[in-house]
Amino acid sequence: MSHEPKGRPPPRRTVSWSECSGPGDGAVDRLRRQLAEDRHWVLCGKLVSGLAHEINNPLDGVINSVRLIKSGKLNPERVQEYLAMIESELFRIASLSKRLLGLSREQPPHRAPTDPNELVTKALFFVDYRMSINGVRLERQLARRLPRIAIDQTMILQVLVNLLVNAIESMPEGGLLSVKTAAEGDWVLISVADTGAGIADEDIGRIFLPFFSTKKSTGLGLSVSMNIAEQHGGTIEVESAVGKGSIFTLRLPCR
């Protein structure tokens, strides 16, 4: 006969995972596989959504520019401006596809001696139109007599354009974009600074993780950029203050 006080529920007992599954039972393994599969589909959905956003925006700009050029209402100077914008936006889409390929497989860099300042100038050309429509001013400080560095020009150009686009997008109301090059011992430094919103302390440690983003994007750009920098024996450093802006520095070895 039970001596438990009437009206009180029996004491609760905590059941472990091992008790639920029992010896040799695959329930826990099946649950783990299901959770992993669910996480996979969540990441896929996030990737597809981000890709649609990143591809549609530049395509809309390209389509509108083509229509304006075809209208015949633009003077020759404006036509050249819109053609430059079309080239910039198509390069952005091409860079996105390369970032995705970078996630699926690591491609060894095809190195060639390169003038860092020339590469920076080329990257700035690709974002010139984006700067103008965002009201962003440019401050350029390129060090003289920098050593040539052995890099894959296409890969490092991709990194620079990504850093520049991020900086410009952080200043939707306009601001100052500062690009600097310097030599420091056995390293060449390329810095991209903005006067945008800055990055919160809790996010600094996560910005180079795949799929992490504080914007409506795939969150792949910085992750792939860091991967490219590391393939070259370098790295990307970041300093940021909320409300003041950020500085991203690409550090590459002089070898």
Average per-residue pLDDT for the chain: 79
Model pLDDT, residue 199: 86
End-to-end CA distance of the chain: 85
pLDDT at 20: 43
CB burial of 230-248 (b: ≥16 within 10 Å; e: otherwise) equals: ebbebebeeebeeeebbbb
Q: How far is the C-alpha of 233 from the C-alpha of 247, rounded, in Å? A: 20
Confidence of residue 86 (pLDDT cuts 50, 70, 90): confident
The predicted pLDDT at position 9 comes to 47
- Provide the pLDDT for residue 220: 55
The span from the CA of 194 to the CA of 142, in Å, is 16
Query: Strands across the sheet with 187-193, in order?
Result: 136-142, 175-184, 187-193, 245-253, 235-241
Predicted confidence (pLDDT) at residue 212 exceeds the cutoff of 60: no
The angle at the Cα of 227, spanning 224 to 233, to the nearest 5 degrees, equals 150
**pLDDT at residue number 85:** 79
**pTM for the structure as a whole:** 0.64
Supply the pLDDT for residue 102: 58
Domains, in order of start, for the chain: 32-104 (1.10.287.130), 112-253 (3.30.565.10)
pLDDT digits (tens, 9 = 90+) for 102-116: 555 556 788 999 999
Query: Percentage of residues in the chain with pLDDT exceeding 70?
Result: 69
Q: 240 pLDDT exceeds 70?
A: yes
Compare 180 and 2 and report the one with higher pLDDT: 180
Residue range 115-172, pLDDT digits in tens: 999 999 989 988 887 888 889 999 999 999 899 999 999 889 888 988 998 899 899 9
**pLDDT tens sequence across 6-62:** 555 444 444 443 444 444 456 656 656 666 566 656 656 656 655 665 677 678 778
Q: Which of 51-60, 80-89, 195-204 has the lowest mean pLDDT?
A: 51-60
